[in-house]
Amino acid sequence: MSALPADLAARVEAWLAIDPDPETRAEIEALRDAGDADTLADRFSGRLEFGTAGLRGRMEGGPTRMNRLVVRQAAAGIARYLAASVDGAREAGVVIVHDARHRSDVFAQDAAEVIAAHGIRVILSHPPLPTPVGVFAIRHLGCAAGIVVTASHNPGADNGMKLFMGDGAQITSPTDAEVAAQIDAVVADGRIVPVGIGGASVDPLPAAVISDYLSVTRHRIPPPVAPIRVALTAMHGVGGELGMRLLREARFDDVFPVHEQIDPDPDFRTVEFPNPEEAGATDMLMRRMEAERAHVGLALDPDADRVAVVAPHDGGPRQLTGDEVGALLGEWLLADVTSGPDRLTVTSVVSSSLLGHIAAHHGAHHEETLTGFKWLSRPAQRHPEWTQVLAYEESIGYAIGPTVRDKDGLSGALAAASLVSALRAQGRTLWDLLDDIHERHGVFRTENFSVRDDSPGAAQRRKEFVATMAADPPTQIAGIPVCAAEALAPDVLRMELEGDLRVIIRPSGTEPKLKCYCQVQEPVAGRADLAAARERADARLASVNEALTAMLSGAA
């Protein structure tokens, strides 16, 4: 055993003196006693950054990880921000919900106690709930803010907390920086619980909020017009019970859960990554679909703010991409469900541009934003005279209707089922509607991939890689000339290639990944050309992706 460097040893002892959790204290003490300077240096090399996505990280001891002390410090900073910057925050209060991950209930209780100690009323959900229910509760109860304790679709070792303001939207700049500054002040002065402030109450979330959420969601989406069979998985998360209830109350009578995955399990025993987008994650859903002859399969992610859609196809069930589902929902909602000139659709820059063409065809407004619903929710708020019909991003996140300001997998699942029912009444399928869309607008193919690296310093390497590429973009990719390159943000690079090809590269905001998004547009010469046009598009996309994979591997 070797002695720790003096500065590191001092930081470790200071942390141990205030860590309220015996488990993480013992963990750090064991590392200290073993003289594991490398691991401790990583754990104490800064702080888990509070940004527009809130906090998210691996549950371990130390300031760069997700643990009770980090949560309590963050909650104190949030409380200070609300008290100083939001009129009436003490009375309006903060609603807090949590998922079923390890320690989520403890983190939620910690946050509630700290915020209430600052004299701000707290409404706390005791049973685990989906993220969209928590987001709904903010505006429904007139709260000043909301906190959701979740790591969404991250691995089981991770957790996080996400902050929403009273408008029901995720925070953006400058709020994120102002909250982060207040958290830094808490860390500096050590006062997690203030002195001389009368504490406020911590009240349970009224059960009526859940019923109201389900009712509002049902009334936003047309009921089924033809009977269909639906298979559903909650991916071991918290959406199973409410997903089943929502579908059945909406008159979908034949709903078949994937029993092994429908109830919460913080260890996510049947999937390596609890993300419906990961290869193999929906295999059990597909088997359930085939066993029950289901017309559609729906896979909620663990906090139920996203949904993947699977449909029967030649050779067996096939999972649609997020962009395919976005185009299908957009076409249906604009053509058959809503009407009027002042309708709005929104996508992120990394999503397919097809929805913009669909919106133009139906006389609707369309806007494109940076990635994340913190941005996707803004056009509707800037234009209250427009009615939002759909906002979506390619990573299977959908907001349906004018009042939704964050992605909602439960309402997305209900909308997908309703669309399948409407098509079945016409003797048609999702694939038939997708053919219609591609025949009218051309084939839009998108394919995304990522390079994962969670080793020390990887986050900085990813940022530097994108910045370097933006400063000196390649002249060609896979032999195809790059026509234009634009930095959409400091860490987001978009490149346009000859032949209607688009490439976007950015670091993930929530996972240790460098992400690449590719799109190709291919003209279609009538219905008979559809299959050939898709083959042409796929071949071009594969060539570009192969070259990009080799290029991005240098960032890992």
Tell me whether residue 353 is one of the annotated catalytic residues. Answer: no
Question: Nearest Cα to 12, choosing from 75, 93, 69, 84?
Answer: 69
Look at residue 403 in the predicted model and tell me its pLDDT: 86
pLDDT of 1? 52
Average pLDDT, the chain: 95
When pLDDT is cut at 50, 70 and 90, the band that residue 136 belongs to is: very high
For the chain, what percent of residues have pLDDT higher than 90?
A: 88
Q: Given this model, what pLDDT does residue 555 score? A: 62
Burial class (CB in 10 A: 0-12, 13-18, 19+), 556: middle
**Whether pLDDT at 117 is above 60:** yes
Considering the candidates 104, 125, 152, 418, report the single residue annotated as catalytic.
152
**Is 556 a residue whose pLDDT tops 60?**
no
| Tens digit of each residue's pLDDT (9 = 90 or more) over 21-40 | 999 999 999 999 999 999 99
Q: pLDDT band for 554, please (50, 70, 90 cuts).
A: low
Please state, for a pLDDT cut of 70, what percent of the chain lies above it.
Answer: 99
- CA dist 57 to 221, 509, 530, Å? 35, 11, 44
For residue 366, name the pLDDT band (cuts at 50, 70, 90). Answer: very high
List for the chain the helix, strand, coil content (%; round to 5): 40, 20, 35
The model's pLDDT over 268-313, given as tens digits with 9 standing for 90+, comes to 999 999 999 999 999 999 999 999 999 999 999 999 999 999 999 9
| CB neighbours of residue 335 within 10 Å | 14
pLDDT at residue 183 in the model: 97
- Residue written as token pair 């990880």: 65
Q: What global pTM score does this model have?
A: 0.95
> What is the tens place of the pLDDT at every residue in 435-484?
999 999 999 999 988 888 878 778 888 888 888 888 999 999 999 999 99
Q: How confident is the model at residue 164 (pLDDT cuts 50, 70, 90)?
A: very high
pLDDT digits (tens, 9 = 90+) for 369-398: 999 999 999 999 999 999 999 999 999 999
Position 416 confidence tier, pLDDT thresholds 50, 70, 90: very high
In this predicted structure, the answer to whether residue 224 has a pLDDT above a threshold of 90 is yes
Domains of the chain: 1-45 (no CATH), 49-205 (3.40.120.10), 212-440 (3.40.120.10), 442-555 (3.30.310)
CB contact set of 251 (below 8 Å; sequence gap of 6+): 223, 224
pLDDT value for 450: 86
List C-alpha distances in Å: 488 to 347, 368, 466, 495, 506: 15, 12, 11, 10, 10
> What are the tens digits of pLDDT across the range 77-102?
999 999 999 999 999 999 999 999 99
